[in-house]
Chains A and B, each alone.
Chain A
């Protein structure tokens, strides 16, 4: 199995297309960091305009931690689309190329190949996320420095001590990896149903957009299905940055306001991953390889 995963990783990283996502993420982050470096004070002023009259904030608001939070908010919506480029091509791309029949005439079972391909696509996804974390968090910390994290929520403000921030990002990135692996498995499922690459890539992107709209719209009919949609849970990495307060309304260091929500989301995402991968294996096992 390990040799199959190695082979699949080798093929992924020999393809120029693989690096598009890494390049796109780097370009986006660098542009945003550059913009905030040049004009960050104006941006911070805009963020704080509603509370400037009632609250005085000392220190460096626009620090590396806040920049990372801003970047994640912007990018974790779009990274799934980049993940789909590879994941949705893993099986259908080989079917289109005609190489799937070469693989399926080797002594390994189709289940082995499908799982090896999924694991390889998952490793790619995790590497993409690590790349995102490196650029968004560590490079931002290096450029903008660190301080307490000051977040403006819809009707309240969260202030997290800088010594209490880093582990939350670790948690957020681990959570995000589940979100992106769900996208990977969805792309994989689409890929198992097709013999060309474009259909599954567009299909995965469309499914993400469609379910995101359902998750966002506040219509009673949709509210019934929302808890079961993976898109409802994908952005719950933000829960790591909601902190409990004591009776004096002071933040409790090391706390998370809604741990059950995170657990539920992880459970729903994991179930989706298992469901999508199992369906992919069943489809491929039954499929006649005609390409």
Chain B
């Protein structure tokens, strides 16, 4: 079941297209990595998922329901941090958790609050006011607020911002724990591939508001395999030929074009197969690995 289903959403701010016709799905229990450099449209997309921003066009469904029509029911099951960890400076960590548990109509026992603070490594500062917290500590408290009501979908926008290396490792372990041990769906955004690739099952890269690539992490990061696009005069015939050949398992489902994921050394054999079947091959393009691809995007920006 798709916990998040985004269909062709766009958001315009005047002439600026912050998000341009983006679609994706996040399945239950997945850790979904949402990757893009700063200003690429990640936070705008996340804000639309949480109904903080109204989309200019397109549909968003969470748990199979439209966020615009079923906002309250949906948000009961969602915990989120968005960009900076902005909190009330005059309240303590415990008071924040009590306050947001109350907002969620939940009576949270003191032991649960302590447990949540322990989960994010803040138990020792439970009663200190937030005004004395470092950025990293605020980030941890922001995550604790997102978790305090035990949501089934957790949306974390740049959760490791401001954290030291140990803090980053802790959050990474926490995300993996939430998905694997507690069966939660985690949607995590970052501008660093290194952060995303270690925790996400699936990755989507967004750049200048547009979806650039999406796929399973293990496939996208597999250095032995490349995404190969076949360009022919008759894509339908080419697809039928490949389906009836030994290359069938390597086909990638795409709405348009013929794509396969296969080792580089298999490309000549694929070409032979298509030519022998009488298909005019215009070109075969082996895409770069995800990391190269992401660096290419960011360095060109």
Contact = CB atoms under 8 A, between A and B. Distances in A.
A290 interface: yes
B72 A15 contact: no
A98 B87 CA distance: 7
Interface in B178-200: none
A107 B52 contact: no
Contact of A102 (B47, B76, B86): B86
A92 to B, nearest CB: 14
A157 interface: no
B84 interface: yes
A289 B88 contact: no
Contacts of A105: 50-52, 75, 78, 80, 82
A56 interface: no
A14 B86 contact: no
B285 to A, nearest CB: 39
B102 to A, nearest CB: 6
Contacts of B80: 105
B90 A98 contact: no
A107 B54 contact: no
A216 interface: no
Contacts of A4: 103
A261 interface: no
Contact of B105 (A3, A15, A97, A98): A3
A14 B90 CA distance: 7
B91 interface: yes
Contacts of A289: 47, 52-53
B84 A98 contact: yes
A158 B177 CA distance: 78
Given A4-B103, A7-B102, A289-B47, A106 B75 contact: yes
Given A105-B78, A108-B72, A98 B54 contact: no
Contacts of B87: 99, 102
B50 A99 contact: no
A23 interface: no
Contact of A107 (B75, B90, B91): B75
A78 interface: no
Interface residues of B, number: 29
B127 to A, nearest CB: 14
Interface string A90-105: 0000000111011111
Contact of A97 (B52, B86, B145): B86
B53 A290 contact: yes
A109 B72 contact: yes
B72 to A, nearest CB: 4
A105 B103 CA distance: 10
B243 interface: no
B96 to A, nearest CB: 9
Given A15-B90, A109-B72, A102 B52 contact: no
Contacts of B51: 104-105
A97 B88 contact: yes
A288 B53 contact: yes
Contacts of B82: 101, 105
B103 A103 contact: yes
B104 A11 contact: no
Contacts of B91: 11, 14
A16 interface: yes
Contacts of A14: 88, 90-91
Contacts of B54: 286, 288
B287 to A, nearest CB: 35
A102 B145 contact: yes
Contacts of B99: 7, 10
Contacts of A103: 103
B52 A101 contact: yes
Contacts of A10: 99
B47 A106 contact: no
Contacts of B75: 105-107
A16 B88 CA distance: 13
Interface string B88-103: 1111000000011011
B52 A99 contact: no
Given A3-B105, A286-B54, 20 more contacts: A6-B102, A7-B99, A11-B88, A11-B91, A15-B90, A99-B86, A101-B47, A102-B100, A102-B145, A105-B75, A105-B78, A105-B80, A105-B82, A106-B100, A106-B103, A106-B104, A107-B72, A107-B104, A288-B47, A289-B52
19 contacts: A4-B103, A6-B102, A10-B99, A14-B88, A14-B90, A15-B90, A16-B90, A97-B86, A101-B52, A104-B52, A105-B52, A107-B71, A107-B72, A107-B103, A107-B104, A107-B105, A288-B53, A288-B54, A289-B52
Interface of B: 47, 50-54, 71-73, 75-76, 78, 80, 82-84, 86-91, 99-100, 102-105, 145
